[in-house]
Amino acid sequence: MKLAILSATVGAACAFSPSVTFSTSTASLHLRMSTESTDETAPATPLDISTEEAVPEVQDVTPAGVAIGRSLSWVPDETKPCYGLPGASAPLGFFDPLGFTKDMELLGVKRFREAEIMHGRVAMMATLGYLISESTPTITYGMNVHHTIANNQIPEVPGTVLFPFFLAINICEALRASKGWVEPGLGPLFTLRESYYPGDLGFDPLGLRPTNMKDFENMQTKELNNGRLAMLAAAGMCAQEQINGKGILENLGF
């Protein structure tokens, strides 16, 4: 009985091991064939070696466009100055004599354009602010025409008026930053979002945005040129009032 159990156990173990069969006749046959093959040289099989390597096909990948509103899209063009952003107009064309944007990456150019267009918008409001605050009735001065130059008006404004004014500015700036800029800690500082078009805050209550790219670029070029002129005008007004202490219209004889 024990012998039967041992035989069954050995048989079961051998069932899971690879079977190797040795045969003296087979071994001698392999030995004879191997000795015979050393005397005869087998013809070499020619190898098909091709000198031409397969070159992977390069596909033309079009860069993804940046959405502008709901109907427009801007695609950066590396062959154009500032990647094709609008703003160049006659007679100067593309004007960058100091080479600020030369060999600059796309995100850097977009950040420069964001700064330019936002400063231009603030300067356009500041230009109107100089004229209105000096020459028209305002709530701050009791609806009377106050002839204090604009540069000296802020210290005269009560804090109860300045606080909501600066609070509104902070809220607007926070909304602008959350729309166009990468949050601190989620990427490099002072970096615009890749999907953000410089200056596009989605604010168009009168629906003046054109529906095709050509008209949009033309309109933004006009906005940029007016903003550039306003930056020069606001700086000139500030300097002029500091020199002679007179208001803008007063200095012109009004």
Q: How far is the C-alpha of 170 from the C-alpha of 204, rounded, in Å?
A: 21
Residue type, 194: E
Measured in degrees and rounded to the nearest 5, phi and psi for residue 118 equal -70, -40
Name beta bridge partners: 93.
Answer: 89
123, with CB counted inside 10 A (0-12, 13-18, 19+), is buried
The pLDDT, as a whole number, for residue 247 is 87
Residue type, 155: P
Peptide bond into 158 cis (omega under 30): no
Q: Which two tokens stand for residue 45?
A: 């099989």
Cβ 108 vs Cβ 129: under 8 Å = no
Q: How far is the C-alpha of 109 from the C-alpha of 201, rounded, in Å?
A: 18
The pLDDT, as a whole number, for residue 139 is 67
Q: Could you list the pLDDT tens digit for every one of the 254 residues in the chain?
A: 343 444 444 444 444 344 444 344 443 434 344 444 444 444 545 445 444 455 445 444 445 678 887 678 899 999 999 999 999 988 888 999 999 999 999 999 999 999 999 999 999 999 999 988 888 877 666 666 666 788 888 888 888 888 998 999 999 999 999 999 998 888 788 889 999 999 999 889 999 999 999 999 999 999 999 999 999 999 999 999 999 888 888 888 87
Give the list of residues 6+ apart from residue 244 with CB closer than 8 angstroms, or none: 251
The pLDDT, as a whole number, for residue 9 is 45
Q: How many CB atoms lie within 10 A of CB 197?
A: 22
